[in-house]
Amino acid sequence: MDKSVLVVRGGALPIESGLGRAHNAVTERLRTGLVTGWSLAGEIEHPLNDGQGAVKRLRKRWSLHPRQVASEIANRTPSIVHITDQEQAHLVPENAGCPVVVTIHDLFHLDPQVLDTEWGPIQIGQKPGFVRRMDIRRLIAGLRRADAALCISEATAAHVKRFLPELRTFVVPNSVDLSSRDPRSGRYPSPNLEPDSMHLLVVGSEDRRKALDFALEIIGALDVSVRRDVLLHKVGAESSSLAEQRLKKKATDLGVRMRWHGRVEEEELIALEQNVEALLFPSAAEGFGLPVVEAMASGCPVLVNDLGAQNEHPPERSILPPFNRDIWCTAIEDMHRVWTNRDMPIRPIDEEMIRSAEKRSPSEIGMIQASVYDQIL
């Protein structure tokens, strides 16, 4: 008989969000039998009530929902309770009667850091205000009550071991739906990409950690004969209109052509991934680096800084010294040379990228998830 997992979170975040997508992937692997020997006992969550006042939201978060979770665990008696992100670690009950594990995506906001780089210091995470400090204390206390942390990358696991050395840690990466992105089974048509330009893609917010400024600077530093051919596509919800205006002005000042897409539908993102020359991902720190794996699954070459966790996914040729302008420029110039000499209108599918992305398929991660559950139980 299968052992059972009760999957727990707070508010039911939409699947379009990173944490919502990761939660859904955990439950789907259990629901579809990819976690051998384990089944889904059920889910505990509550609707997002954004219209509620701050006091009511805190009461639900700190009191009502934790009591409901403890009661449901006692009634359902699962083999394991799995809380799917560290922002809900306060839900780990005292004396649950079974092992309780928490997925940790990153500790950027629980343990902010300043990363010193060749590009200058980069703040990873934000200093919290008074209420958030109270919340973080509850989260850390919950993590200390947990039986294990399931970290989505080696980089996150290393951070957890430094921050909470007594907490047992395992690495269970996020899984990516490869089938919807595989260009070999049907490639999306080019989404209005001019054939006389070399198209590059960046995905993410305007936070300094994501280093969009660095991407603009390296393109701006290219020889004009290369730079004039490059068209940079920026995808990702804007953090603010001021950030958008600042970056657009910077691109203009550097002579960089940039097309600002903002938030796009999944199909449009896949079409870009399948048809641009490469994804540039110079982020300073990631819990996982999902855009890298998604681009790879689309057969798209990627260039990443040799920093965690985005450097855990692609082949060696894609990993560049962190914030080294000369080497980043050389990599793009090499790409431009190939693009210039290509005798076909579209970039060939990069099979090596797809093979690397397959290590993050739901079936592969399901096997890891089952093994970790077995070890914890």
pLDDT along the chain (377 residues), means of 10: 92 90 96 97 89 86 96 96 98 96 98 96 93 97 98 98 98 95 94 95 94 98 98 88 93 98 94 98 97 98 97 98 98 98 92 98 98 97
- Tens of pLDDT, residue by residue over 74-88, are 999 999 999 999 999
> How do beta strands 198-203 and 169-171 pair?
unpaired
Position 153 scores a pLDDT of: 98
How many residues in the chain?
A: 377
Q: What is the dihedral of CA 244, 250, 253, 254, to 10 degrees?
A: -130
**Residues 115, 285: contact at Cβ < 8 Å?**
yes
Round to whole Å and give the CA distance between 199 and 208: 23
Edge-first strand listing for the sheet containing 319-320: 257-262, 230-235, 198-203, 278-281, 302-305, 319-320
Position 241 scores a pLDDT of: 87
| Nearest residue to 236 (alpha-carbon basis) of 269, 262, 207 | 262
Edge-first strand listing for the sheet containing 100-104: 38-46, 3-11, 80-83, 100-104, 148-151, 169-171
Round to whole Å and give the CA distance between 84 and 88: 8
Q: In this structure, what are the phi and psi dihedrals at residue 39, rounded to the nearest 5 degrees? A: -130, 165
End-to-end, the C-alpha distance of the chain in Å comes to 15
Position 1 scores a pLDDT of: 66
- Tens of pLDDT, residue by residue over 329-374, are 999 999 999 999 998 888 999 999 999 999 999 999 999 999 999 9
Position 51 scores a pLDDT of: 66
| Nearest residue to 25 (alpha-carbon basis) of 365, 282, 328, 372 | 365
Q: Which two tokens stand for residue 152?
A: 């989505």
Q: Which two tokens stand for residue 95?
A: 């004396």
Contacts of 54 (CB under 8 A, 6+ apart): none
Instruction: List residues bridging with 104 in a β-sheet.
Output: 151
Instruction: List residues bridging with 262 in a β-sheet.
Output: 235
Mean pLDDT of the chain: 96
| Nearest residue to 84 (alpha-carbon basis) of 38, 141, 146, 138 | 146
Full 3-state SS string of the chain? CCEEEEEEEEECCCCCCHHHHHHHHHHHHHHCCCCCCEEEEEEEEECCCCCCCHHHHHHHHHHHHHHHHHHHHHHHCCCEEEECCHHHHHHCCCCCCCCEEEEECCCCCCCCEEEEECCEEEEECCCCCHHHHHHHHHHHHHHHHCCEEEECCHHHHHHHHHHCCCCCEEECCCCCCCCCCCHHHCCCCCCCCCCCCEEEEEECCCCHHHCHHHHHHHHHCCCHHHHCCEEEEEECCCCCHHHHHHHHHHHHHHCCEEEEEECCCHHHHHHHHHHCCEEEECCCCCCCCHHHHHHHHCCCCEEEECCCCHHHCCCHHHEECCCCHHHHHHHHHHHHHHHHHCCCCCCCCCHHHHHHHHHHCHHHHHHHHHHHHHHHC
Q: How many CB atoms lie within 10 A of CB 54?
A: 8
Q: What are the chain's domains?
A: 3-175+361-376 (3.40.50.2000), 183-358 (3.40.50.2000)
